Structure 1
Amino acid sequence: MEDLFGGAAPYYARYRPGYGQAAIEHLAETLGADSRVLDLGCGPGTIAIPLAPRVKAVLAVDPAQEMLAEGRRRAGSVTNIAWLRGDSTALRALPPFDRVVMGRSFHWMDRRAVLIELDELLPAGGAVALIGPSRQQGEPWQPDAQPWQPVERRVCEEFRLDIHTAATSFHATGEHHRDVLAASPFSILDSRVFTRRLTWDVDGLVGLQLSYSYSSPARLGDRLPAFMQALRQALLADNPAGRWEQELATEVLVARRSER
């Protein structure tokens, strides 16, 4: 992960869309104010920072030191977050937790194995929550879900960046997270979808592109300035107004065990 997202943390923190206040408030209410929440694959704190004031404590875990450093910097006065380097293969080494949340991280894991292990670690009443793009609507990084993406795809191809890397890495199988959960010990699902509109400018779309694993600054290396210029020019050539609208749908999917 350090290699995949090298140099991407500041762009990730600034340009990746957050989940929105309504989604975070629903997540916090569902998990409970007394919860000790593991944010697994926390990135720069996209969930951990807004969630922490609403729960007892957050354990923010990520394999990339750059992401953790960015999260610590952004957290400011929020003090009930512990930032730890780790991943889904070392869950037993973590301090105790009673709820788990994952954002844009679950697809990097061996999902079935992680859920089996969480079933052993979580107490009775524990829950696993996923927050991210809804099944019905795409987020900016899904292929051609948004009008600017064909332009970005063309520029990435010109720079020989493999846009499919993120979609096929590690244990991704093509199964939707919902289906993996339904076949796991956490098979009782509750879903809420929250929609909002975003407006993007050229700087935002260029920054967003640099937050992805397949086009991170580390992957681009000394080609970074040329890539940024080429992408900016291509986007403006396609849309001289330089503004793009997006309808963003975010799902909060909470999974609990069936009664035993």
Structure 2
Amino acid sequence: MTLAPTPTPFDPDRYRFAAAHYEQGRVPYAPALIRRVAEVTGIGSRHRVLDLGCGPAPLARGFAPLVREVVAIDPSPEMLAAARALAGQAANIRFLSGSSYDLDPTLGPFRLAVMGRSFHWMDRVDTLRRLDRMIEPGGAVVLFHDSAPAIPANAWRKVWRDIRERYEPNHGPHDRDPDWIRHEAILLESPFPRLESFGVIDRRTVDVETLVQRALSMGSTSPSHLGGKMGAMVAELRAALADVREEVVETSALVAWRPDFR
């Protein structure tokens, strides 16, 4: 079976006005999850990691102490500026302007290519073909994600989601799309078909201002997409979620190896 999903149109400015809200609003990946991925993939001080669609580079910062070099790529100048500021004195992170369409063996080789909430915006089949020429034997592609278990501590999330949906001028590439092909299906038909998933579930403190920033960090409810509606959405979020104090989140990693590994 050959899958040929329709790629989402490339838009380098999609997160231009969301960059300022991303670091404060988005769920951080659990350090224990990054350590687990490092353990199972065997990365160490001689290896290089590619962070593709890095945003403000939380993954690059997480992996940098463990490896020789991290190359972090993003098409947004605003995201790269935020990433450089947050990386501070991390000398082994190299930031490059570009996208999955710029992947080339001259950048490699890499032990890992990691992506945090970015793979769904790419031409996924093309990206994996390009990575096939860059990931060394024994290496892997790792997709990071976060989700929220449907438990009482997360009951407020429906209110947050419902408010956002009323203001969304459009949705992400797979939101409520019955024809969306899951990442697992794409990976199973790729050069990286050996799949294993890992997750860490944490109880974390959160407040309404973080949830406002989270909404504004989303591509579909960023300030540029909301325009004059932004103030109304922010006011509604603050009124409805003022009492929120905690959330339970799962940060997860889907590791995809070459078939001859392990």
| TM surpasses 0.5 | yes
Superposed displacement of residue 164, structure 1: 2.6
Give 3-state SS (helix, strand or coil) of 2:253's partner: strand
SS of 1:19's equivalent?
coil
How far residue 209 of structure 1 moved from its aligned partner, in angstroms, is 0.4
Of 112, 117, 131, 1:104 maps to 117
Please give the root-mean-square deviation of Cα atoms over the aligned residues, in Å.
2.7
Alignment correspondent of 2:18: 8
Measured after TM superposition, the shift of residue 94 of structure 1 is 5.5
Matches within 5 A, 1:205-216: 205-216=211-222
Paired letter, 1:121: M
> Alignment length, in residue pairs?
246
1:239 match: none
In the alignment, which residue of structure 1 is the partner of 2:50? 38
Deviates more, 1:188-197 or 1:33-42: 188-197
Structure 1 residue runs of 4+, over 4 Å off? Answer: none
> Quick one: distance in 2 between partners of 1:92 and 1:147?
44
- Once residues 194 and 129 of structure 1 are traced to their aligned partners in structure 2, the CA distance between those partners, rounded to angstroms, is 15
User: What's the TM-score once normalised by structure 2's chain length?
Assistant: 0.83
Aligned sequence identity (%): 39
Identify the residue that residue 247 of structure 1 maps to in structure 2: 248
SS at match of 2:100: coil
Quote the residue 2:236 is aligned against.
Answer: 230
2-side partners of 1:180 and 1:199: how far apart? 35
- Does the alignment pair 1:120 with 2:133? yes
Whether 2:160 is the aligned partner of 1:152: answer yes
Separation in structure 1 between the aligned mates of residue 38 and residue 18 of structure 2, nearest angstrom: 28
State the alpha-carbon separation in 1 of the partners of residues 229 and 16 from structure 2: 14
Contact 1:48 1:81 in 2 (8 A): yes
* Aligned counterpart, 2:8: none
Q: Distance in 1 between matches of 2:251 and 2:128?
A: 22
Q: Give yes or no for contact 1:61–1:87 (8 Å, CA) kept in 2.
A: yes
Would the alpha carbon gap of residues 253 and 153 (structure 1) be closer, same or farther in structure 2, given more than 3 Å must change? closer
Distance 1:46 1:245 in 2: 21
- Cα offset, 1:207, TM superposition: 0.9
In the alignment, the residues of structure 1 paired with residue 245 and residue 170 of structure 2 have an alpha-carbon distance, to the nearest angstrom, of 21
C-alpha contact (below 8 Å) 2:55/2:79 kept by paired residues: yes
Query: 2:133 aligns to what SS in structure 1?
Result: helix
Counterpart amino acid of residue 20 in structure 2: P
Residue by residue over 1:18-57, the C-alpha shift from the partner in whole angstroms, topping out at 9 and shown as x without a partner, is: 1111011122332511211110010101100121111110
What are the ranges of 5 or more consecutive residues in structure 2 without an aligned counterpart?
1-10
Partner of 1:3: helix, strand, or coil?
Answer: coil
Q: Which amino acid aligns with 1:120?
A: R
Q: Please say if residues 105 and 133 of structure 2, whose CA atoms lie closer than 8 Å, have aligned partners that are also in contact.
A: no
Residue aligned with 2:20, SS: helix
Matched, 1:199 2:205: yes
Distance 1:200 1:178 in 2: 31
Amino acid at match of 1:162: P
Q: Structure 1: which 5+ runs fail to align?
A: 237-241
Tell me if structure 1 keeps the 8 A contact 2:164–2:215. no
Q: Paired residue for 1:78?
A: 90
Equivalent residue for 1:63, pick from 75, 95, 110: 75
1:25 aligns to what SS in structure 2?
helix
Take 1:212 and 1:151, find their aligned partners in 2: how far apart are those partners? 16
